[in-house]
Amino acid sequence: MPNPPNIILCLCDQLRAFEVGCYGNPVIRTPNMDRLAAEGVRFETAITNFPVCMAARSVVLSGQYNRTCTGGVANVAYPARPGDFNLPEYPDAGRPHLRDRTLPECLRQMDYTTAAIGKWHIHSWPNDIGFDDYLIPRVHHCHTGQSFTENGGPEFIPEGYSVDFEADRVATFLRRQSAGQRPFFLYYNISPPHCPLADAPDKYLTMYRPQDIPLRPNVDLSQPLARQDYWFRVYRYDFRYYNLHLPYTDTLPPDYDLRTLIAEYYGLTTWADTALGTMLQALDSTGLADNTIVIFTSDHGDNLGSLGLVQKGGPTEESIRIPLLLRGPGLGPSGRVVRDQVASLVDLMPTLLDQIGGAIPAHVQGQDLAPVLRGVRPQLDEPGAIVETSGGAGLRRPAHLVYLPFVKGQRAFAEKPSHAYDLHSDPFQLHNLAAASTTLPPATAPMEAALRQWDTATPWMAPATT
């Protein structure tokens, strides 16, 4: 390739597609995400392949399903007190996960400079899987007082908010690369709108009035959430509540309710959009924009009270649906919306490699979406995408979702689906067709067979040998 494009893969954390302006939200302010959609390609339906942080991020860089690249781990955690999420702050040495050649390793073989900035939360170190340089925080989320390591050096705590610090470092990286001769791959991760919601500038915490927040029709405010006050504290304070139990985290603001929580989530989404804007402005000012592929997405969504659920982890639309926006050379006319193909995180690696003329390794399991991006095809032979969870796996196609649970205590699928939805007629998953009938409707029945075929063909990572 005479002048290979630069690549920026930018993820935020826990942002569902429904809270982005270009996906139809009339209240949220996401001008930079909307700009990418207007100048590039937007997938109407994109999903995470596993709606948990470490699992989803491992999928992105490996191009493999979570069962293959981590052995099915959601988040690595150690035994702890009840209610704690005892996550290791940094990866383990020796490449315990992502054992096959990763996206950054493939790009480095093509003479790309590779760098990672921002949230990491993968169980192998960045330098072990192909990054030349990295600046990453501890795993536990906080936006002030966060500890970082740069290339494995001594920890340090930057002044101010970590989100702004990372955005400034991204801008510095881009200015430096503008004077270089080699193409670069930047893996940039923005932590919001993941909790702690309260650890953010007042500007964003007060940006949206709770009464202005549009609730999804599957949110029932008349019914309190299970363990509501506990989860409200987790959302606001994260590990400083559930792990450190700092006394101030026992207190919620007066009259704090779900609408207020979602309003704060909206504010942190706009904060993430502002960080994205810092990156886009740096691309413009350095002259890099025209030859840089930019991908913006999220690792997973957030239930935010839909169907009485919080956080993520299951096969709900709120948990699995994510934004996916792509802009750059060779992507065809700007402002296009892909509606007939479901995209997913596992597809990013093969799609990017095809787009820049690279070879796709045989171990990569995602679909190459490049023909859809270029407008050559409206959809692939398989128009859907797989979503794994700790309890089973599902197939999401443009109009339907079918989910097969595991037999308890096994990795084998049960005899029949536990969930099936017609998402055109029931977009809020209020009518589970699998619960209503022992025989699935004709449109969804073939999806069960495809899901079982995927299960047979997709291996689990073997345990590490000692």
| pLDDT tens string 172-225 | 999 999 998 899 999 999 999 999 999 999 999 999 999 999 999 999 999 999
Residue 101 has pLDDT above 70, yes or no: yes
- The 10 Å CB-count burial string (b at 16+, else e) for 105-140 is bbbbebebbbbbbbbbbbbbbbebbbbbebbbbbbb
Average pLDDT value for the chain:
95
Query: What is the domain-level CATH number for residue 330?
Result: 3.40.720.10
Residues 313-368: tens digit of each pLDDT: 999 999 999 999 999 999 988 999 999 999 999 999 999 999 999 999 999 999 99
Burial letters 147-177, b for 16+ CB under 10 A, else e: bbbeeeeeeeebeebbbbbbbebbbebbeeb
Report how far apart, in Å, the C-alpha atoms of 203 and of each of 51, 176, 208, 362 are.
29, 31, 10, 48
Domain membership flag for residue 150: yes
Distance CA 200, CA 234 (A): 15
Q: How do residues 229-267 score in pLDDT, each as one tens digit?
A: 999 999 999 999 999 999 999 999 999 999 999 999 999
Distance CA 444, CA 420 (A): 7
**218 occurs within a structural domain:** no
Up-side HSE of residue 257: CA atoms within 13 Å toward CB?
13
The backbone torsions φ and ψ at residue 189, rounded to the nearest 5 degrees and listed phi first, read -120, 130
Phi, psi of 376 (to 5 degrees): -70, -35
CB distance 458 to 365 below 8 Å: yes
Question: The pTM is what?
Answer: 0.96
Tell me, yes or no, whether 423 lies in a domain.
no
For residues 324 and 344, give the distance between their C-alpha atoms in angstroms, rounded to a whole number: 8
- The residue length of the chain stands at 466
Contact (CB, 8 A) for 337 and 379: no
Q: Which domain, by its residues, includes 192?
A: 6-13+42-197+274-390
- Among 34-43, 84-93, 338-347, whose mean pLDDT is lowest? 84-93
Q: What is the DSSP letter of 446?
A: H
Q: Is 29 within a domain?
A: no
Q: Does 408 fall in a domain?
A: no
* Interhelix angle 53-62/348-355, nearest 10 degrees: 30
Looking at the structure of the chain, the number of domains it has is 1
8 Å CB contact between 451 and 400: no
Is 202 part of a structural domain of the chain?
no
Q: What confidence category does residue 3 fall into, taking pLDDT thresholds of 50, 70 and 90?
A: confident
Cβ within 8 Å of residue 450, ≥6 positions away: 382, 384, 395
**Two structure tokens written together for 193:** 């709108």
Instruction: Identify whether 425 is part of a domain.
Output: no
